[in-house]
Structure 1
Amino acid sequence: MSTTHEVTNQVPPIDGYDVAADPALLESVRQQGAGWVEPELHELGERAGGEEAREWGRLVNANPPILKTHDRFGNRIDEVEFHPHWHDLMTVAVQHGLHAAPWRSDRPGEHVARAAKFLVWGQVEAGHSCPISMTYAAIPALRANQRLAEQYEVLLAARSYDFGLRVPTEKRGLIAGMSMTEKQGGSDVRANTTAATPNADGTYTLVGHKWFTSAPMSDLFLTLAQAPGGLSCFLLPRVLPDGTRNPIRLQRLKDKLGNKSNASAEIEYDNAVGWQLGEEGQGVRTIIAMVNNTRLDCVLGSAAGMRAGLVHAVHHTCHRRAFGALLVDQPLMTNVLADLAVESEAATVVAMRLAGATDRAARGDRQEEMFRRLGLAVSKYWVCKRAPAHAAEALECFGGNGYVEESGMPRLYREAPLSSIWEGSGNVAALDSLRAMAKQPESVEAFFAEVDLAAGVDARLDSAIAHLHKELSDLEDLEYRTRRIVERMALVLQGSLLVRTGNPAVADAFCASRLADDWGVAFGTLPSRLDTAAIIDRARLR
């Protein structure tokens, strides 16, 4: 072969590593009381880092789902055809309990364990995480109707992935979806026009058009519609108890920026049959239990994307040489990588702390429930907002190689904005934080009780907390300043967690940059005299 075709200075494949070998994640799992899951977490991590799973992720995105509205005879079927490896990804997720399994266990730490596995397996492929997340989030809302919960909860939590449209009670396991927004309202779900008419048998007939429906091949859907008593929540199966198809018409699949493997549909309820969850007129209150749990997964998904981007960037720079030295050893790249690592670890630590609060709140801890209410709102805003910038900078560490699809970085980049939009875009999440503080002042007390656990440990954190109190006491132009306030709250929370439980080098860099304002606008602007080598070392593959 001609020497012009001799390949040098290229980076070896990243396949064959343990995705769960993440110090920040493992430390958080232990701190939040789920250390018992580590053997399974490493088993899943090794599978996630293997060549087979990574190829599954590539193929399901290269071959997106196809809508089949009719069969060859002209009969309406409203089905979506997926690449076979979509079902492989779903099977692994369900077998490891990433869906609703924690709701059926009393063991402390179950929700933490599930969150850790979600973060690890989500680094393989993000699209299939959507129906997994929907199923996890559905059960608290489903419990608003005891009879329906008794009928479906065990099947939703079962560790069997049983794809196909059949009577739900005849399947080994179920997947749930959600259908809320309409074209005229978007995030303003109270503007929904879908009508729900009560029937003599206790069911409702729904007529309307939904603009976004997550995972349309799910077995059950939670949806909002206008009943005689106001906006209400309903459960609709794709297949009715008598075996007939519920008339939920799939009009088209959305052509999205990212999340290509997952089918997101525009649907029409053509006299579809549903069962009421909760009371009439209380639809938002009922479904918010589902929304809050999917918001947790937005934070986890963003943290997963950041960790994946960081690991790939560090791996690349540890093997690629330029200007006579490895990229990782060059001072400016060191600054960039350390900054990306600090952001990633902060996201992971706060995501897992919120998972711990979810676990304890599910067992009746009111203080943790109130902390979670506000902590989740501010973290959903900030962590998800940071993900696109993080993905862009991680991609840039590859130079032109990162812009090529084969690197995997473009898919990560396209995926990054989704979590910030899903379940309420930036303004919605920020305003929800204000709403929580106004309607549930005890959530503010719980939030500051949490961050004050680090009082006196780091003067930069103490100063940031004092400044935050001052910001919150000023009510002038409060809504206008909401993003500024919520951002500060999220940073203070992350700083408190890192100072108390994180790696000292990471905590020092976080406080110096994010809290003491010794930081530029772009990544790679950390101040001098930080232990960047120790920070980057935590992201190296072993």
Structure 2
Amino acid sequence: MESHCPGKTHDVTNQVPPLADYNLFESDAALAAAVDRDGAGWHRDALQRYGAALTTPDILALADLANRHTPELFTHSPRGERIDALEFHPSWHTLLALLRREGLLALPFSDPQRGAMAARCAGYYLHAQLESGSLCPLTMTFASIPVLQREPALFETLRDKLYTRQHDPRDLPLAQKASMMIGMGMTEKQGGSDVRSNQTRAFAAGNGSGRGAPYRLVGHKWFFSAPQCDAHLVLARTGDHEGLSCFFVPRFAPDGSKNAVQIQRLKNKLGNRSNASGEVEFLDAYGMLIGDEGRGVPTIIEMANYTRLDCVIGSAGLMRAALVQAIHHARHRSAFGRHLADQPLMRNVLADLALESEAATVLFMRLARAFEDAANAPEERAWRRIVTPAAKYWVCKRALEFTGEAMEVWGGNGYVEEGPMARFYREAPVNSIWEGSGNVMCLDVLRAMEREPEAAQALFAAWRSTAQVHPALGAALDRLAAALSSAPDLREAAARRIAQSIVLIAQATLLVEHAPAQAADAFIATRLADGCGESGRVYGTLPAAFDHAMIIARAFAA
């Protein structure tokens, strides 16, 4: 007779163990090769150490904690004083301290040497696989440095606080802090991406006006990222110019009092929950004009170029994180008598995801090199100025579909908040929206090509040399050239397809140069060949002739 244990309904079997205690860097062959290739081998030991640290159970738990215990806004003290204070869970500050310790807020500027940009981007990519919200203030702080360096007197007072590897969470005037973070205030209710419609005004506060002079700001920002930062770069209009000007607006005024930047509320966001985004009003807030008066958009565009690159890296990091979780799950979960990873159709899906992830990785690392070398050659300028916005458009878009597909590999377990897949999925849209939506990026690609024809020609010439041995790649280049030679209205209407083609060709040439032939051929056959469905394709449609198992094994060997 079969025995029964009272109170026990079943045994727990066929559940996948948590993925932990592996090395993010060492298990990523494409990243490790790119680090050496792009001159950052000197940083390899630090990346290996960080790659191991980020997957320990205690560190992995930080991401969940920071996103479950979201920031809180306290507008007033118990005595009724206006304080606009933000309170974060301790996990948030631990995450920021990790980023500071690795030098990811300033590495190419604080330690300039060959490969420093690639080293920093690789570290950023590793952290993106852990937690995304903490990358937002890091990105803006990093991107502000080249802008602030053009203001020598101001930068002299900020350099040490920007370059330090110590995190200082205290909400104090800058003079009393060991480190600082910088945010941005660009968009307003009526304009969004159209910042030229901004209404915030700036009035000279002293005897003089112009660069370096103090101003009083009156107006609002609909998205203020991130309001807890120690200072923000803000766009506003002065009375003397039609164009917008750029202002350095500290959280505390020079006299040590709280600056008159009132936080109206924090945004209730889909993702990026660990980080605060706010709506603010300026009530005669102190600001210092940086750059030339009326030239605020060109001044802050330099910052935007760096943030766009980080959007590409952040999305590539989400894709990589979702990929390794999907592969790990498929290697441990059985269905219909076999592990998922041993089933041909699942192998096709995983291999296709692996190709997409590797293509995103080699692309952002190539862009990192261009950010170092853009002043030296037309082709490098093209990678930085033309391919970067195209990559920001395409890779960030692909992350949405990618994370959804990886979640599906997990089945129902992926759809609940106890695991990381739901968080990855919620994080995926933000990079596509932030710092210029898809249409804005694609129009910027066309604008860059018109302004940098020599650079575009040098880039296409380099691609042509690779395409000589790949007919499908050559045909894709011909189609791109035809689209670019069409009438202006037709070209603008096709801007998304043009940007998509630029990125796919860029990724294909990089894979031809740096990945196994099977991987490059599979990517070209399914992304660029005639009839492969360049738009709206789903993952898992690789031809059966390709070695799916090899592609998966290369992607994640842990």
Structure 1 counterpart of 2:170: 164
Change (3 A) 1:197 1:277: same
Aligned partner letter, 2:265: R
Q: Which runs of 4+ in 1 moved over 4 A?
A: 363-367
SS of the residue aligned with 1:478?
helix
Select which of 140, 154, 179 maps to 1:148: 154
* Mapping for residues 106-185 of structure 1, pairs under 5 Å: 106-185=112-191
Deviation at 1:408, TM superposition (A): 1.1
Q: Does 1:82 align with 2:100?
A: no
Is 1:503 the counterpart of 2:501? The answer is no
Deviations 1:308-353 (A, max 9, x none): 0000000000000001111011111111111111111111110111
Residue 541 (structure 1) shift: 4.5
Q: Is the 8 A contact 2:326 2:406 kept in 1?
A: yes
State the 1:155 CA deviation.
1.8
Q: Which amino acid aligns with 2:13?
A: T
* 8 Å Cα contact 1:315-1:541 kept in structure 2: no
CA contact (8 A) 2:378 2:454 kept: no
Aligned to 2:436: 424
Q: Relative to structure 1, is the Cα distance of residues 80 and 449 closer, same or farther in structure 2, using a 3 angstrom cutoff? A: farther
8 Å contact kept, 1:28–1:349: yes
Matched, 1:539 2:555: yes
Tell me how far apart the structure 2 counterparts of residues 242 and 333 of structure 1 sit (CA, whole Å).
63
Answer whether contact 1:232 1:279 (CA < 8 A) is retained.
yes
Instruction: Establish whether residue 471 from structure 1 lines up as the match of residue 471 from structure 2.
Output: no
Specify the SS of the correspondent of 2:70: coil
Matches within 5 A, 1:59-74: 59-74=65-80
Give how far 1:497 is off.
0.7
**Aligned residues of 1:17 and 1:541 also touching (Cα < 8 A):** no
Question: How far apart are the structure 1 equivalents of 2:522 and 2:465?
Answer: 20
8 Å Cα contact 1:395/1:402 also seen in 2: yes
Which residue of structure 1 aligns with residue 227 of structure 2? Answer: 216
The one-letter code sitting in structure 2 at the alignment partner of 1:434 is L
Work out whether 1:296 is the aligned partner of 2:302. Answer: no
Determine if contact 1:152/1:169 at 8 Å carries over to the other structure.
Answer: no
Aligned partners of 1:66 and 1:82 also within 8 Å: yes
Question: In the TM superposition, what are the counterparts of 1:334-345 in structure 2 within 5 Å?
Answer: 334-345=347-358
Instruction: Give the 3 Å change call, closer, same or farther, for CA 57–450 of structure 1 in structure 2.
Output: farther
Match of 1:11 in 2: 16
Question: Superposition pairs for residues 315-334 of structure 1, below 5 Å?
Answer: 315-334=328-347
Structure 1 position 97, deviation (Å) = 1.0
Of 514, 522, 526, the residue aligned with 2:538 is: 522
C-alpha deviation, 1:98, in angstroms:
1.0
- Is this contact kept in 2: 1:235–1:274, CA < 8 A? yes
CA distances 1:284-311 after superposition (whole Å, capped 9, x unpaired): 1000000000000000000000000000
Q: Which residue number corresponds to residue 355 of structure 1? A: 368
- What is the aligned-residue identity percentage? 49
Say which of 399, 403, 421 aligns to 2:411. Answer: 399
Say which SS state the counterpart of residue 492 (structure 2) adopts: coil
Q: Tell me how far apart the structure 2 counterparts of residues 79 and 108 of structure 1 sit (CA, whole Å).
A: 41
Separation (CA, whole Å) in 1 of partners of 2:84 and 2:202: 22
Contact 1:512–1:518 (CA under 8 A) maintained in structure 2: no
Task: Give the CA RMSD over aligned residues.
Answer: 1.5
TM-score (norm: length of structure 2): 0.94
Q: How far apart are the structure 2 equivalents of 1:80 and 1:541?
A: 42
Task: Report the residue type matching 2:483 in the other structure.
Answer: E
Q: Give the secondary structure class of the aligned counterpart of 1:33.
A: coil
Task: State the distance in 2 between where 1:11 and 1:440 align.
Answer: 51
| Equivalent AA in structure 1 for residue 398 of structure 2 | R
Give yes or no for contact 1:145–1:276 (8 Å, CA) kept in 2. Answer: no
Deviations 1:441-498 (A, max 9, x none): 2331243244235232322212212221122122251111111111111100111111
1:46 is aligned to 2:49: no
Could you tell me which residue of structure 2 aligns to residue 198 of structure 1?
204
Q: Deviations over 1:99-128 (max 9, x none)?
A: 123212221111110000000011111000
Q: Could you report, residue by residue, the CA deviation over 1:369-407 in whole angstroms, capped at 9, with x for unpaired residues?
A: 343100101111111110000000000001111111112
Find 1:413's aligned residue among 415, 420, 425. 425
On the 8 A contact 2:472/2:530 being kept in 1, the answer is no
Deviates more, 1:518-527 or 1:110-119: 518-527
The alignment of Structure 1 onto Structure 2 pairs a total of residues equal to 541
Q: State the secondary structure of the residue aligned to 1:14.
A: coil
- Superimposed CA distance per residue, residues 44-78 of structure 1 (whole angstroms, 9 cap, x where no aligned partner): 11111111111000001011000010111110001
Residues 28 and 556 in structure 2, CA contact (< 8 A), matched pair in contact too: no
CA distance in 2, matches of 1:503, 1:223: 47
Given that 2:170 and 2:177 are in contact with CA atoms closer than 8 Å, whether structure 1 keeps it comes out as no
- Counterpart pick for 2:474 among 445, 462, 465: 462
Does the C-alpha gap of structure 1 residues 366 and 444 become closer, same or farther in structure 2, counting only changes over 3 Å? closer
Q: Which moved more, 1:30-39 or 1:87-96?
A: 30-39
* Deviation at residue 206 of structure 1 after TM alignment: 0.4
Gaps of 5+ in 1: none
Secondary structure of 1:522's partner? Answer: coil
CA distance in structure 2 between the aligned counterparts of 1:241 and 1:400, rounded to whole angstroms? 54
Residue in structure 2 matched with residue 487 of structure 1 by the alignment: 500
The yes-or-no answer on 1:270 pairing with 2:244 is no
Please tell me the residue identity of whatever aligns with 2:541.
T
Offset at 1:540?
A: 3.0
Residue in structure 2 matching 1:255, options 265, 268, 271: 268
Whichever residue aligns with residue 347 of structure 1, its letter is A
> What is the TM-score of this pair, normalised by structure 1?
0.97
Secondary structure of the residue aligned to 2:192 is coil
Letter in structure 1 aligned against 2:513: R
| CA contact 2:235–2:246 (8 Å) conserved in 1 | yes
Q: Which amino acid aligns with 2:247?
A: F
Q: Is the 8 A contact 2:483 2:491 kept in 1?
A: no
Structure-2 residue corresponding to 1:382: 394
* One-letter identity of the residue aligned with 2:190: Q
Letter in 2 for 1:234: F
Query: Conserved in 2, the CA contact under 8 Å of 1:211 and 1:267?
Result: yes
Q: Distance in 2 between matches of 1:309 and 1:518?
A: 28
Counterparts of 2:416 and 2:385, CA distance in 1: 40
Secondary structure, in 3 states, of the residue corresponding to 1:115? helix
Report if the CA contact (8 A) 1:119-1:303 is conserved. Answer: yes
